[in-house]
């Protein structure tokens, strides 16, 4: 069996790669574990220099990597460049802050000395998706490596070229050689990789189904895992919102990466007094987005990554229309080659409709009427997902309180769209997963948080 990359804009093959044999996987994991045992004793300043070198390489090869993402999964090249810069900035962030985040913390007890120490676990297996081929990996690897761990990457098969490019990025001197290792293997071999004694912990970003599978395998092996799964982010547009600003922000939040993001805006819960204006302005911004060749710098929406993803999205749209939703923009698979799907606006969406209940992984905006602010919150939380959410209101104090205390999600933003940030913990609740990446909390996820008590 081989791993294939196909250009979703044209349907033409990009490359194919032989999978690692079981013996090669075994040796890669042993080698990474051996490197990690040395790396854990390396001073933070040495680790920081390595991450800073990775950041420098990312910036130097940004055009190359953006093109690779465009070819393998259809990301518009300008968005690909932005992804690479975000990766580089995150490497710099952890290079600068990891030592402080992991400094032993004294605790007052009756002992002569007592403290909390942070020790690396070993090899973290990163099971990563295709939608942000570099960012998803870096946001796991940068803190894991600065924390003294090694990383073995099992990337999505359709972005194997990106996986190999990441492997090259992290290669360095003898102290860092084989510390980050791509594993070329299909998902059907994941169980054996997770069970391998060299793997200490697992970080997965993916679907709910993938999360359940990995969590079960990790549980059987008694290995810690962090899961960042799907999302159906709700955006609440309250009656005192700045509607022009909200509509423009919401359109971008729905269209970024062609809507293929766990934290993309999915459901728009709008109060009656401003609903018509919001719907008109949202339709305007959605309709103006430029669809086309992801290699064209002017393209804002590229193709979906695979035909099956487009088919599933179309099924959700058709099911919602049959249940009573109205389509005022898009909603049909276009003719021609490639996996393109137009920006789509569905109105009068109800909680029983598929686009409300499921994750829509594509540029489909679902507007759901809400009678009151309390009703909007109820609808927002009426989801099996809990990854992100946003509230738009001119009353900053009120909106902040609602986001902080009432919106069921791991990341809640006010008057802007939801996004990950190296300075803030990122993750979800309910079927959006558990554990956190990024920030101080994220770097401590894959640590032995050790109590030391000196009598």
Rounded CA-CA distance 35/96 in Å is 23
Which CATH number is associated with domain 2-229+432-454? 3.40.605.10
Determine the average pLDDT of the residues in 219-230. Answer: 98
Per residue, the 3-state secondary structure of 147-159, as one string, reads CCCEEEEECCHHH
Determine the average pLDDT of the residues in 80-102. Answer: 98
Q: Which of 87, 140, 225, 262 is catalytic?
A: 262
Q: Which of 228, 373, 431, 445 is catalytic?
A: 228
Is residue 412 among the annotated active site residues?
Answer: no
Averaged pLDDT score across all residues of the chain: 97
Tens-digit pLDDT profile for residues 271-299? 999 999 999 999 999 999 999 999 999 99
Is residue 262 among the annotated active site residues?
Answer: yes
- How many other CB atoms sit within 10 Å of the CB of residue 237? 28
Per-residue pLDDT at 1 exceeds 90: no
Which CATH number is associated with domain 233-421? 3.40.309.10
Per-residue pLDDT at 247 exceeds 80: yes
Tens-digit pLDDT profile for residues 131-183? 999 999 999 999 999 999 999 999 999 999 999 999 999 997 666 789 999 99
CATH 3.40.309.10-classified regions of the chain: 233-421
The structure's pTM equals 0.97
pLDDT value, residue 175? 65
CATH 3.40.605.10-classified regions of the chain: 2-229+432-454
pLDDT value, residue 177? 81
- How many other CB atoms sit within 10 Å of the CB of residue 20? 17
Nearest to 269 by CA among 317, 309, 305, 237: 237
């Amino acid at each position: 069996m081989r791993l294939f990359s196909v250009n979703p804009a044209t349907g033409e093959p990009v490359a194919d790669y032989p999978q690692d044999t079981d013996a090669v996987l075994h040796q890669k994991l042993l080698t990474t574990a051996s490197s990690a045992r040395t790396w854990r004793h390396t001073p933070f300043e040495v680790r920081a220099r390595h991450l800073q070198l990775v950041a420098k390489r990312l910036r130097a090869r940004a055009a190359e990597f953006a093109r690779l993402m465009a070819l393998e999964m259809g990301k518009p090249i300008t968005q690909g460049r932005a992804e690479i810069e975000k990766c580089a900035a995150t490497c710099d962030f952890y290079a600068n802050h990891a030592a402080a985040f992991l400094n032993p913390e004294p605790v007052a007890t009756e002992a002569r000395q007592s403290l909390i120490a942070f020790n690396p676990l070993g090899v973290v297996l990163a099971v990563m998706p295709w939608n942000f081929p570099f960012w998803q990996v870096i946001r796991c690897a940068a803190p894991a490596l600065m924390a003294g761990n090694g990383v073995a990457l099992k990337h999505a098969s359709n972005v194997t070229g990106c996986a190999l490019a990441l492997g090259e990025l992290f290669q360095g001197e003898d102290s860092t050689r084989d510390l980050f290792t791509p594993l070329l293997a299909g998902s059907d071999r994941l169980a054996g990789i997770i069970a391998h004694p060299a793997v200490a912990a697992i970080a997965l970003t993916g679907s709910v189904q993938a999360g359940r599978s990995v969590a079960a395998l990790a549980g059987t092996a008694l290995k810690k895992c962090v899961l960042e799964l799907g999302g159906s982010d709700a955006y609440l547009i309250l009656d005192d919102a700045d509607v022009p600003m909200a509509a423009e922000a919401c359109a971008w939040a729905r269209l970024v990466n062609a809507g293929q993001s766990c934290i993309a805006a999915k459901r728009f819960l709008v109060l009656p007094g401003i609903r018509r204006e919001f719907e008109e302005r949202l339709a305007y911004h959605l309709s103006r987005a430029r669809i086309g060749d992801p290699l064209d710098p002017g393209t804002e929406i590229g193709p979906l990554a695979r035909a099956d993803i487009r088919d599933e999205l179309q099924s959700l749209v058709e099911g919602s229309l049959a249940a009573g939703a109205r389509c005022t923009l898009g909603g049909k698979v276009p003719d021609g080659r490639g996996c393109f799907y137009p920006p789509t606006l569905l109105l009068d969406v109800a909680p029983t409709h598929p686009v409300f209940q499921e994750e829509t992984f594509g540029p489909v905006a679902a507007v759901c009427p809400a009678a009151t602010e309390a009703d909007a919150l109820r609808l927002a939380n009426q989801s099996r997902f809990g990854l992100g959410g946003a509230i738009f209101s001119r009353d900053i104090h009120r909106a902040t309180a609602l986001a902080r205390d009432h919106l069921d999600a791991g990341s809640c933003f006010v008057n802007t769209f939801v996004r990950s940030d190296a300075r803030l913990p990122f993750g979800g609740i309910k079927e959006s997963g558990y554990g956190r990446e990024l920030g101080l909390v994220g770097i401590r996820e894959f640590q032995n948080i050790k109590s030391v008590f000196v009598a």
